[in-house]
Homo-oligomer: A and B are copies of this chain.
């Protein structure tokens, strides 16, 4: 009897997370060795609640549209599995797996999701369940350990750079007004997204003047003097800051709600650009603009990197192929063979490593002063934003799709 596949997504969405799921879906369907392909509604919580959708019944038209739709098409959750394997949650999850004859479980997410997949794989092995559990990486933060980069990062970087470029053009249209513009990007402990803002150029000259990352200590006085020095010679100064920049003692420089932490102990961040803008206004110049691409940087599928979109798909397909080869407990990891031409390979990487280690930017990819990037970073990041995906539009807007309208209609009568 053929086994079934279960797909699920967890953590924050990306522009290409659904491309990964469709990669796994297509590979499973093409293999001929599986019967049904299910998705869990809302990650592992969908498994715990036995809230599954049979994707095998969904029209091919909808599946194709889902691939380029932003956000977690299978619905997401933020749920930590307990460390204690005796916990009821494990018993319940494997009960649902057995009831639905699940032989393959693929979990599509970031660090925390790889932790969940790792725990399920180890639990299965310890208890003799015949199930393959692999992870499909995604995170705009690009901080997953064990892979050259993460699906989702390239598209976020392309959106950030396009926005930066357009806002710079907007700002320098007033040749007689000195202006400071500050853009804030996501990135809690790793500055990959802010760093990516070094890619936008005009005539081979970087548009962003100053880039601040969590990897090096942030100091307000240095920041203000950096801005001030640049303003001596330029009409416009463009600074980019990661929301996660830290003091010399390693504490987040700014937290909009200092007392709130999420379930994983993360601080909720955001609003840094406004704080910095106020300091610039107080100390240097009144004309300061802020740009915060906010959640758009992780869901702007209208600006996907084609490289990212294709790689995300392959990462999903590979997770299934690894399982076919009898491999379980791995994440589809990118191994870079060369920058130019850009060549990658997708290899299995142990889940436990990816699960709880965050990858930060190597120090020698950042300049000595800690306010810009070196060419090593640019050589790394440039290939990841290449290529465009032409979306179909309907009535003037991208033709995105919701997987299960009835289910959603009940939960979200508005949509």
Listed stretches A217-225, A312-320, A350-358, A384-392; interface member: A384-392
Chain B residue with the shortest CB-CB distance to A206 = B414
Residues of B within 8 A of A265 (CB): none
Tell me how many chains of this kind the complex includes. 2
Listed stretches A66-74, A88-96, A144-152; interface member: A66-74
Q: B414 near A205 (CB under 8 angstroms)?
A: yes
Q: Which of A158, A290, A398 has the most CB of B within 10 A?
A: A398
Q: Size class of A's contact patch?
A: 35 or more
Q: A173 near B75 (CB under 8 angstroms)?
A: yes
A131 interfacial contact with B, CB 8 Å:
no
* Nearest chain B CB to A396 CB, angstrom units: 4
A132 interfacial contact with B, CB 8 Å:
no
Bound-complex Cα distance A237 to B289 (A): 29
Q: A412 near B166 (CB under 8 angstroms)?
A: no
A367-415 interface (Cβ within 8 A of B): 382, 385-388, 390, 393, 395-398, 400, 402, 405, 408, 411-415
14 A-B pairs within 8 Å (CB atoms) are namely: A41-B175, A76-B173, A166-B300, A167-B295, A167-B299, A168-B415, A199-B395, A200-B397, A203-B405, A238-B414, A293-B296, A386-B396, A387-B396, A390-B390
The 10 A-B residue pairs with the shortest CB-CB distance, nearest first, are A385-B396, A72-B173, A170-B299, A71-B169, A71-B173, A71-B170, A166-B299, A386-B396, A76-B173, A235-B412
